[in-house]
């Protein structure tokens, strides 16, 4: 599985020269959404699993 | 010290049934900022996802609204409110260790009640403040590239490499904010946090909720009449 993902977007001037970073790679948006959803799911699971152990906290 | 103790005792023992958590000014700030953030994220990402429309004007105006909201909040919080309520302190760190130990089944004293905000809320605020300020800073620079009623565009304000850096900061800040907003909404809709969500609409929480979730000596909430 190819996980070679660019972090940035690049462009080259029509007048030549080196490639220049022009911004973040928007394909990463899906990873940010997935990371949030993963956090949410893990938090729900941890709350259910560990609630009794921490229940005497307050 | 005695006036603090008296106020703490008054809030805990008053008979009105409710304590004030957020004043109207703070609730208005929160919801205006929320609308601005939703507008910014909508105008930022829908065109990227393929839904094309004239988004730039709405985006920069919403950005100005966000910047003004944040400026209002910073001045008010630092000048008129207790900024220490949002500073992560030793007790927050200690509570974090205690919760972690208990979660792992290790013997540990029970975590103590937080003040107005617990350690994770303070950590979240720190993170979102960082990303919002990065977005506002890079956004203000990007305003130089558009025509507004107040100035003419100057795309040569920075060179290509520097503009790339500005756009990169803005882009990653925006994507991080998507995550932060999702997590914030999740905590707002959790049933065990509804008393906090209600307080951002109504401004108050019940005395029972206040005593159950907060240490009155660390957050002296006033009675809500």
3-state secondary structure chain B: CHHHHHHHHHHHHCCCCEEECCCHHHHHHHHHHHHHHHHHHHHHHHHHCCCCCCCHHHHHHHHHHHHHHHHHHHHHHHHCCCHHHHCCCHHHHHHHHHHHHHHCCCCCCCCCCCCCCCHHHHHHHHHHHHHHHHHHHHHHHHHHHCCCCCCCCCHHHCCHHHHHHHHHHHHHHHHHHHHHHHHHHHHHHCHHHHHHHHHHHHCEEEHHHHHHHCCCCCCCCCECC
User: What pLDDT is stored for residue A17 in this prediction?
Assistant: 79
B175 closest CB neighbour out of A8, A13, A28: A28
Q: Tens of pLDDT along B112-136?
A: 999 999 999 999 999 999 999 999 9
What residue numbers bound the domain in which B171 lies?
19-213
Is residue B24 in a domain? yes
User: What pLDDT is stored for residue B33 in this prediction?
Assistant: 98
Q: Cβ separation of A8 and B168 shorter than 8 Å?
A: yes
Is residue B13 in a domain? no
- Chain A, nearest residue to B48 by Cα: A26
- Chain A, nearest residue to B213 by Cα: A58
Percent of chain B whose predicted confidence (pLDDT) is above 90:
81
Q: Could you tell me the CATH number of the domain that includes residue B112?
A: 1.20.950.20
Q: Cβ separation of B179 and A35 shorter than 8 Å?
A: yes
User: What pLDDT is stored for residue A57 in this prediction?
Assistant: 46
Residues of B within 8 A of A53 (CB-CB) are 102-103, 105
Q: Tens of pLDDT along A3-46?
A: 678 999 998 877 777 888 999 999 999 999 999 999 999 999 98
**pLDDT above 80 for B153:** yes
User: What pLDDT is stored for residue B6 in this prediction?
Assistant: 47
The pTM of the full predicted model, rounded to 2 decimals, is: 0.88
**pLDDT above 90 for B91:** yes
User: What pLDDT is stored for residue A2 in this prediction?
Assistant: 57
User: What pLDDT is stored for residue B225 in this prediction?
Assistant: 73
Q: How far is B106 from chain A (nearest CA, A)?
A: 9
**pLDDT above 60 for B137:** yes
**pLDDT above 60 for A56:** no
Is residue B36 in a domain? yes
A36 closest CB neighbour out of B110, B111, B183: B183
User: What pLDDT is stored for residue B210 in this prediction?
Assistant: 96
Q: How many domains does chain B have?
A: 1
Is residue B224 in a domain? no
Is residue B177 in a domain? yes
A56 closest CB neighbour out of B103, B110, B183: B110
Percent of chain B whose predicted confidence (pLDDT) is above 70:
93
Is residue B8 in a domain? no
Is residue B102 in a domain? yes
Residues of B within 8 A of A50 (CB-CB) are 102-103
Name the more confident of B11 and B79.
Answer: B79
Return the minimum-mean-pLDDT range out of A7-21, B1-15, B31-45, B61-75: B1-15
User: What pLDDT is stored for residue B125 in this prediction?
Assistant: 97
Is residue B82 in a domain? yes
Q: Tens of pLDDT along B20-42?
A: 999 999 999 999 999 999 999 99
Q: What is the mean pLDDT of chain B?
A: 92
Rounded to an integer, the average pLDDT of B56-75 is 97
């Amino acid at each position: 599985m190819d996980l070679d993902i660019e972090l940035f977007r690049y462009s080259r001037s029509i007048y030549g020269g080196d490639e220049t970073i022009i911004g973040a790679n928007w394909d990463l948006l899906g990873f940010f959404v997935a990371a949030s959803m993963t956090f949410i799911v893990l938090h729900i699971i941890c709350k259910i699993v560990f609630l009794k152990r921490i229940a005497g906290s307050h | 010290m005695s006036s603090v103790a008296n106020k703490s005792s008054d809030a805990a023992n008053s008979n009105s049934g409710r304590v004030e958590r957020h004043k109207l000014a703070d609730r208005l700030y929160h919801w205006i900022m929320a609308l601005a953030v939703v507008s910014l994220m909508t105008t930022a990402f829908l065109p990227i996802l393929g839904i094309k429309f004239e988004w730039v004007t709405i985006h920069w105006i919403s950005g100005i609204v966000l910047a003004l909201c944040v400026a209002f909040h910073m001045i008010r919080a630092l000048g008129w409110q207790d900024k220490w309520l949002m500073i992560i302190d030793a007790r927050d760190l200690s509570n974090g260790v205690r919760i972690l130990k208990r979660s792992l089944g290790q013997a540990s004293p029970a975590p103590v009640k937080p003040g107005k905000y617990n350690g994770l809320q303070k950590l979240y605020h720190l993170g979102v403040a960082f990303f919002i300020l990065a977005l506002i800073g890079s956004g203000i620079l990007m305003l130089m590239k558009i025509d507004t009623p107040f100035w003419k565009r100057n795309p040569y304000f920075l060179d290509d490499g520097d503009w790339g850096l500005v756009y990169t900061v803005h882009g990653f800040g925006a994507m991080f904010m998507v995550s932060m907003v999702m997590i914030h909404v999740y905590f707002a809709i959790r049933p065990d946090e509804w008393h906090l969500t209600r307080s951002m609409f109504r401004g108050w929480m019940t005395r029972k909720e206040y005593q159950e979730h907060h240490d009155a000596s660390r957050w002296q909430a006033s009675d809500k009449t």
